[in-house]
Structure 1
Amino acid sequence: MILTVGNTKGGVGKTTLAVQLAISRAMAGRDVWLIDGDRQGTAAAAIAARSEAGRKPGIACAQYADGKELRGQVQQQRDKWQDIIIDAGGRDSTALRAALILSDVLLVPFAPRSYDVWALDDMASLVDEANSVRDGLRCFAVMNQADPGEHSADNAEAAAAVAEVPQFAYLPVPIRRRKAFSNAGGAGLAVAELAPRDPKACAELETLISSLFNIHTHS
C-alpha cells in the first residue's frame, strides 16, 4: 500500500503523523519505506535520529523533494515494500502532485482552525486533478492537533466543515494535541516507544492506523 500524508497547508502535523505511521507499521512487522517529499527534510531528520540512537526496527527513509525523482524512485522500488508512506506538502509542490498519482490512499491532516479547514479546498482541487489522470485514489481527512476536550466546539465545527468537502471522507478518529506526539516525533520514536507511555496518545494512533489500513484492505 502506498499512503501519502499530505496537505498544501503547513503546520498541520503531517510529518509527525507520517513518521508515527511508518514506525508503527514497521513495529507491526511490515516492510516499510518512508519517503520525505518535503525540502525541509523533517521526517528524514527524525529517522536519522532514530538510527543514531540504535532503535529497532530501523526505518528505511529517502528524501525526494523533486516530483520527477520521487515518481521514478517509487515506480522502480514499489514492489520491494509492503507499505510506502510519503510525507508531502506544506505547499503545492511537484512531489505532492507526484505522490497523488502514485498513492492508493491520501490522508489529509487538518487542525481545527478556520484557515486550516479553508485550505482543504486547495487539496480538493489537487485531488480532482489527480483523479482526472488516474483511478482509485481514496482520500481521507483527519483532525490533527485537535483540542483536548471531548466536547470542543472548535473540533465539532471543523469536522462539520470538512464533511462538506466531497473529495474527502472524514475519519472520526481525531488525534489530539498531546506532548507525547511532539516528543516522540523529534526523536524518531513511535508514541508506543516513549517512556513513560501515554496510553491515550497510543490509543488514538492505533485507532487511526486501524481505520486507514482496514479501509484499504476491505475496499
Structure 2
Amino acid sequence: MIITIGNTKGGVGKTTLAVNIAIARALAGRDVWLIDGDRQGTAQTAISIRAESGHQPGIACASYPDGPVLRTQVQQQAKKFDDVIIDAGGRDSTALRAALVLSDVLLVPFQPRSYDVWALNDIAALIDEARSVRDGMRAYAVLNCADPGEVSTDNVEAAAAVADVPQFEFLATPIRRRKSFANGAGQGLSVLELKPTDKKAVEELNALVSALF
C-alpha cells in the first residue's frame, strides 16, 4: 500500500504521524519505505537518528522533495516494499501533488482549531484533481494533537466540520496531545517502542493504524 500523510497546512504533526506509522508497520513485520517529501527533511533526520542508535527494525528512508523525482522513484521502486509511507510537506508542493496521484490512501491530520479545519477545503481541491487521474484513492481526515480529554467540544466540532467536506472520510481515532509522540519521534522511535510505555498513546496509534490498514 502507498499512503501519503499530507496537508497544505503546516504544523499539524504530519511527520510525527508518518514516522510512527512507518515504524508500527515495520514492527508488524512489513517491509516499509518511508519517503520524506518535505524540504525540511525532518522525517529523514528522525530515521537517521534511529539508525545511528542501532534501533531495530531498520527503516528504509529516502528524501524526494521534488515532485517529478518522487514520482519516478516511487514508480520504479514501490513494488520492492510492502508499504510506502510518504510524508508530504505542509504546503501545495510538487511533491504533494505527485504523491497524491500515486497513493492508495491519503491521511490528512488536522488540529482542532479553525485554521486547520478551513484548510481542509484547500487540500480537498487537490484530492479532486488527483482522483481525476488516480481513481479510487481513499482520503481520510484525523484529529491530531487533539485535546487530552475523552470528550472535548473542540474535537466534536472539528469532526462535525469534516462532514461538510465530502472528499474526506473522518476517522474517529484521534491522536491526542501527548509528549510521548514528540519525544519518541525525536529519537527515531515510535510510541510503541518508547520506555516507559505510554499506554494511551500506544492505544491511539494502534487504533489509527488498524483503521488505515
Q: Normalising TM by the smaller chain, what interval?
A: over 0.9
| 1:133 matched residue in structure 2 | 133
Q: Deviations over 1:55-78 (max 9, x none)?
A: 000000000000000000000001
Structure 1 stretches lacking a partner, 5+ long: 214-219
Offset at 1:134? 2.0
User: Which position in structure 1 is the counterpart of 2:202?
Assistant: 202
SS at match of 1:15: helix
- SS in structure 2 opposite 1:192? coil
Q: Distance in 1 between matches of 2:160 and 2:38?
A: 30
Question: Please, what is the CA RMSD of the aligned residues?
Answer: 0.5
Shift of 1:131: 1.0
Residues 5-44 of structure 1: CA deviation (Å, up to 9, x unaligned)? 0000000001000000000100110000000000000000
State the match for 1:83 in structure 2. Answer: 83
2:25 is aligned to: 25
Please give the secondary structure, in 2, of the residue aligned with 1:197: coil
1:48 is matched with: 48
Answer yes or no: is the 8 Å Cα contact 2:6–2:108 preserved in 1: yes
- After superposition, residues 139-178 of structure 1 pair within 5 angstroms as 139-178=139-178
Residue 120 of structure 2 corresponds to which residue in structure 1? Answer: 120
Write out per-residue CA displacement over residues 77-132 of structure 1, whole angstroms, 9 at most, x where no aligned residue: 01100000000020000000000000000000000010000000011000011111
| Cα separation, 1, equivalents of 2:163 and 2:45 | 34
Aligned length: 213
Q: Which amino acid aligns with 1:193?
A: E
Which blocks of at least 5 consecutive residues in structure 2 are unaligned? none
Which consecutive aligned stretches of 4+ in structure 1 deviate over 2 angstroms post-superposition?
Answer: none
Write out per-residue CA displacement over residues 141-192 of structure 1, whole angstroms, 9 at most, x where no aligned residue: 0000000011211111111001211000000010000000000011110101
TM-score (norm 2): 0.99
Amino acid at match of 2:7: N
- Paired position in structure 1 for 2:182: 182
Give TM-score scaled by structure 1 length.
0.96
Output the CA distance in 1 between the equivalents of 2:159 and 2:208: 16
Q: Report the equivalent of 1:2.
A: 2
> What is the alpha-carbon distance in structure 2 between the residues aligned to residue 77 and residue 132 of structure 1?
24
Distance 1:20 1:171 in 2: 17
Identity of aligned residues (%): 72
| Matching residue's letter, 1:66 | D
